[in-house]
Structure 1
Amino acid sequence: MRTRQRRIAAVIDNIDSRRESIGESICAVRFVEHSIPGFEPQVTIVDEQGNFVARTDFANESVKVIAEFDGAGKYYLDSTDPKIAFEHERQREYQLRNLGYTVFRIKWADLFAADVFLRIKAMMANPRSVQT
């Protein structure tokens, strides 16, 4: 198969309507570009008692790694006060970490640099070895 056809096939294989933003779609493409497997979009995480903790942008539950895309408007959606929304998000992340998940936060600038994706890939290869 020619290179162009392989690229088109990879894009088609990567289409998923569960992604909720352009940023999440670009994240998914970057996972493919960096050969980072196993991330599912919009994963619901529950605690040991089955209580809802979070719905994540991406999760690989087999290695307990979460990738969250932080769009600019995120802290205004839950509240008219961004400080309250930020604190809510911080508490949510604490709960995920207490359940053993490593959480990576991806900003717009990260989408176009390799650093965070290389750290995620390293974590996938050797869980618990990379600081987030």
Structure 2
Amino acid sequence: MERSREDEVRDRLADIAGDDPSPAEQALLGRLIRSFLGKNPGGVDQLAQLLRGGDTGQVREHAHALKGSATNIGADSLARVFAEIEHAARDGHVPDPDVTLGRIATEQAMVYPVLERIATEGD
């Protein structure tokens, strides 16, 4: 059974700060999430340009970086999309930009509200 996006995020945050984070730890987690939410859209915009440009090396590197940042906060489903892009580029293939960006947008629409809600829990 697939875990919910909230479970993915909460499990990762528990790895970082434990099951019962202090107020300071909760504030730090909120800042980490907000940083991700602030930077990820721009990173995806850059990935879109790279996908359309067709340079497999740049696509691979950028998808790898996006995968890492999504993994760091537990957005595992989103990270899996970036991993697929990275692997395709490593194999010398740039995925279809429109299809790929649609998949990313769908995943963002599911995980961003979870992240936004969790980020405000320590406020």
TM-score (norm 2): 0.30
Bigger proportion of residues as helix: 2
Bigger proportion of residues as strand: 1
